[in-house]
Structure 1
Amino acid sequence: EAEHAFLPALLDAAKNPRIIRDAPGYIDCSVYVTVLEVPTRLDRALGDQHPMGNPHYNVSPEGGKAAARAIADGLGRLYPEHQAVFQRNLDAYLAQLDAAAVRWEKEAAPLHGQKLVSYHPDLVYFAEAFGMVPFGTIEIRAGIDPTPSHIAELEESMRKNNVKIVVRELQYPAGLAESVAQTAGAKLVELPVMSGGLPETKDYISFLDYNLRTMLKAVQGS
């Protein structure tokens, strides 16, 4: 339900009754997610709000595990005769993720307490998973383009608060993020927000590996 803003229209456009809401083929990957940033009030002036909370849970290990469970459940509903196979595959995949998460937790120690600015608020779950502190966004709010005054205030606040990391998610323009990082004296980090976003991120574990190690290089070099 987290991607309420576009999902209903997308499902309608598909014209496939098997995947509409409440149909057997409708799999909501967020059902097991502990959702962050659930708004206390809704206001169009506040940008692209998500009434059910921040939908970018895929950038954290726990979000990935939650999605895998939901997918296995959905496949089991569709093909109950193969439910045992889906459960075995899920168990094996979760074991891989758990093993990687132990390693990631140790590797992430230098990130603890580090503040970051991102273009869009889509690294909140990443920050929570690895001990970082979201400080602000280049967008004024989600979906609202930055203004010169917003950028000037952000850069000044970053300098005052010793914020050393600016993240440009790969789907956003490079120039402004580069300028903010340079003006504020921060490092620019460029990250995909989906597996497959770069050749090095061909699957989910390599995606999280890449993002964590790229962030570590920036922090340890700052």
Structure 2
Amino acid sequence: MMKLVIANKLYSSWSLRPWLIFKNFDIPFEEIIIPLREADTPAKLARYSPSGKVPVLLDGDVVIWESLAIIEYLAETYPDRAIWPQDKAARAHARAISNEMHGGFMPLRQGCPMHLGVRFKTPEMTPALKANIDRVETIWSETRRKFGAGGPYLFGEFTAADAMFLPVVTRFETFQVPVRTETRAYMDAALKNPAFVAWREAALKETWRIADYAAGHTLVENVI
């Protein structure tokens, strides 16, 4: 059975992405959790990860230490599951926006880190952060208009593109980012995804905490 090495569910956006694929597409796997920023974290990570980071997929002798590569591996291993959209044009679009998410949006990532256990005051909308937020909303709205007629997700049914963007949905929620009406509708659907609901419930039960995580942001509410 494949093994997926992940970090704290409360904080680890990159761990969440492939985990959602496993769960949404009923792929059996064993989960290994290594909490972040503990004394033995580097040693534990070194057992599995060439990069010293998570997530890591272990499939026999195969070791894959990057989220999008893990998703691609699962899509190739399980071609009968529509992990990427089946239509050629939709699939290309899904890969394009997923890679854009993977390689960009640093002001958003740094300014609104994933934290499922709290609500923060909306941060200052710097030009860079606002540009990131606007671009995400445009990606979602354009994708939904072109390809989303069959359901509530970006391409109708849940795909790898939704897995790549769901941590952004949580950031918008945690930091109470003002969004367009159509953005809110997509966020509501994503947050109700059964796999994500299970992840979040498990995250809120974790005993590991990082005291200074998201330091500098104004806490509005604890939801743990």
Task: Tell me the TM-score normalized by structure 1.
Answer: 0.32
Larger RCO (CA within 8 A; separation ≥ 6): 2
